[in-house]
């Protein structure tokens, strides 16, 4: 939360004018409102039992096979990340995967690492999948459906490459079963939550087509699930407020002000000279690589805030290349994204020691391997769909 006092310091010292700080806050306002609604939606999906049902589905589908569990985790984590955001995968799905692996008697490592990587890589598809996406979406001028159409192929390619790398990297772990599976009661599928999420997704497409902020669709879905919990006395108004993570929202807003101050005081000029010009394949590769490096140096959220105003004049293609860099790139180091740092803390809470050497080795193999073909896929999508 150091970003909040830091924002006050840069305003008081004149590093950013109050007018510029206010403009930054107004620009981030709708994005932060959208994020709050999605966080509430994910929280009450968990309260409805959606993630426990997902764990039961994983166990049934895997039939005692670590390899099948890996495939199931990839499908489930990719879907949850895309639809309910990376926070849902890290905070809500990761503990379920730990429990499922323990119940099946298989090593948790490959499957838990998949949650970490896919919370970043699989967040490419929709504007709601990641806060970085929301920021890029707001700056791109694209509709919700056009954004998804352009990112669908890079999303599939990046996930496919990650899966191939994981199968090879964890080959020995996926051949070992530590004990016999433990049978457990299968929870009922929460149809109300599933229908609400499906309607919310449809709402995103409809509001975008009508040139209405998609945040209203997210708010409607959050209100339906939160209202149901309140009426049934399974939650209180304070529960809803906490689910929206106001401290994190304040952090995001303050960070935006701090980054704007840094950009205004010289960083923009330095990066502008380093950014490739144009939107050809070579330029897109260079933009994505620079974004990935910057994400690992200063974290992906500040990186996207820095790079968006510099790449926006080049059009949606450049913005989406930045997005590939700041979403896939953080799999290289712990510091690459807030999601990875949070995942590590959750893993430690489950008694799992995340090895720096193993994490980095996997990142060095998976990150470039996924980023380069994903950029090529984006370039191909731009040729077919158009920006």
Query: What is the mean pLDDT of the segment spanning 68-83?
Result: 93
Across 29-43, 102-116, 181-195, 311-325, which has the greatest mean pLDDT?
311-325
Q: Residue 162 — very low, low, confident or very high, per pLDDT cuts 50/70/90?
A: very high
- Provide the mean pLDDT of the chain: 87
How far are the Cα atoms of 151, 153, 154 from residue 374, in angstroms, in the given order?
Answer: 9, 8, 4
Listed in order, strand segments (DSSP E) in 4-66 are none
Distance (Å, whole) CA 158 – CA 366: 9
Q: What is the mean pLDDT of residues 60-72?
A: 87
Calculate mean pLDDT across residues 56-65.
81
What percent of the chain clears pLDDT 90, i.e. is strictly above it?
38
Report the pLDDT value the prediction gives residue 55, as an integer from 0 to 100.
80
Burial class of residue 308 in the structure, from the number of CB atoms within 10 Å of its CB (0-12 exposed, 13-18 middle, 19+ buried): buried
Asked if the model's pLDDT at residue 181 lies above 60, the reply is no
What would the pLDDT profile of 296-346 be if each residue is shown by its tens digit? 987 888 888 889 988 999 999 999 999 999 999 999 988 788 788 778 878
CA angle 298, 257, 1 (to 5 degrees): 65
Q: In terms of Cα–Cα distance, which of 184, 233, 214 is closest to 47?
A: 233
Instruction: Tell me which of 158 and 88 has the higher pLDDT.
Output: 158
255 CB neighbour count, 10 Å cutoff: 20
Residues 6+ apart with CB under 8 A from 233: none
Predicted confidence (pLDDT) at residue 260 exceeds the cutoff of 80 = no
Q: Is the pLDDT of residue 262 over 80?
A: no
The reported pLDDT for the residue numbered 182 is 54
What interhelical angle do 94-104 and 109-121 show, nearest 10?
Answer: 160
- Residue 56's pLDDT is what? 82
49, pLDDT greater than 70? yes
The values of phi and psi at residue 176, to 5°, are -115, 135
Q: Write out pLDDT tens, residues 94-117.
A: 888 988 888 888 888 899 999 999
pLDDT at 114: 96
The encoded tokens of residue 98 equal 């730990």
Most confident of 76-80, 107-111, 171-175, 324-328: 324-328
Give the pTM. 0.82
Chain segment 206-240, per-residue pLDDT in tens: 887 787 877 888 899 999 999 999 999 999 999 99
pLDDT band at 165 (very low <50, low <70, confident <90, very high): very high
| Residue 219 near residue 37 (C-beta atoms within 8 A) | yes
Residue 106 β-bridge partners: 177
pLDDT tens digits for range 351-364: 888 888 999 999 99
How far CA 122 is from CA of 31, 59, 61, 307, 332, in Å, comes to: 20, 22, 21, 21, 15
Residue 366 in contact with residue 331, Cβ under 8 Å? Answer: yes
Question: What mean pLDDT do residues 49-56 have?
Answer: 82
Q: Give the pLDDT band of residue 180 (cuts 50, 70, 90).
A: low
Contacts of 17 (CB under 8 A, 6+ apart): none
How many Cα atoms are found within 13 Å in the side-chain-facing hemisphere of 249? 20
Q: How confident is the model at residue 74, as a pLDDT? A: 96
Would you state the pLDDT for residue 178?
61
User: Is the pLDDT assigned to residue 177 strictly greater than 70?
Assistant: no
């Amino acid at each position: 939360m150091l970003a909040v006092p830091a924002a006050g310091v840069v305003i008081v010292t004149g590093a950013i004018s109050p007018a510029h700080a206010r403009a930054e806050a107004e620009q981030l306002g709708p994005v932060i409102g959208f994020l709050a609604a999605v966080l509430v939606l994910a929280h009450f999906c968990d309260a409805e039992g959606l993630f426990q049902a997902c764990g039961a589905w994983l166990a049934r589908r895997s039939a005692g096979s670590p390899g099948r569990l890996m495939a199931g985790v990839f499908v489930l984590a990719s879907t949850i990340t895309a639809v309910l955001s990376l926070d849902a995968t890290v905070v809500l799905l990761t503990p379920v995967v730990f429990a499922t692996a323990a119940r099946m008697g298989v090593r948790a490592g490959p499957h838990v690492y998949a949650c970490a990587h896919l919370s970043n890589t699989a967040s490419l598809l929709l504007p709601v999948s990641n806060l970085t996406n929301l920021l890029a979406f707001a700056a791109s001028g694209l509709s919700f459906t056009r954004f998804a159409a352009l990112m669908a192929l890079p999303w599939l390619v990046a996930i496919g490459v990650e899966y191939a790398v994981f199968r090879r990297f964890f080959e020995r772990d996926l051949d070992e079963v530590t004990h016999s599976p433990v049978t457990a009661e299968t929870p009922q599928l929460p149809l109300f939550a599933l229908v609400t999420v499906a309607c919310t997704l449809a709402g995103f497409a409809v509001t975008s087509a009508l040139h209405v902020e998609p945040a209203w669709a997210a708010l409607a879905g959050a209100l339906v699930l939160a209202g149901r919990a309140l009426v049934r006395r399974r939650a209180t108004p304070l529960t809803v407020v906490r689910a929206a993570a106001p401290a994190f929202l304040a952090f995001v807003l303050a960070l935006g002000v701090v980054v704007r101050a840094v950009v205004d005081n010289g960083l923009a000029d330095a990066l502008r000279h380093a950014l490739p010009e144009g939107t050809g394949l070579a330029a897109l590769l260079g933009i994505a690589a620079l974004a990935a490096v910057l994400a690992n140096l200063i974290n992906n959220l500040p990186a996207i805030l820095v790079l968006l105003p510099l790449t926006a004049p080049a059009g949606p293609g450049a913005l989406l290349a930045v997005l590939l860099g700041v979403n896939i790139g953080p799999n290289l180091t712990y510091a690459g994204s807030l999601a990875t740092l949070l995942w590590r803390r959750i893993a430690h809470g489950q008694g799992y020691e995340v090895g720096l050497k193993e994490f980095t080795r996997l990142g060095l193999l998976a990150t470039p391997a996924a980023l380069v073909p994903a950029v090529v896929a984006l370039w191909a999508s731009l040729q077919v769909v158009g920006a």
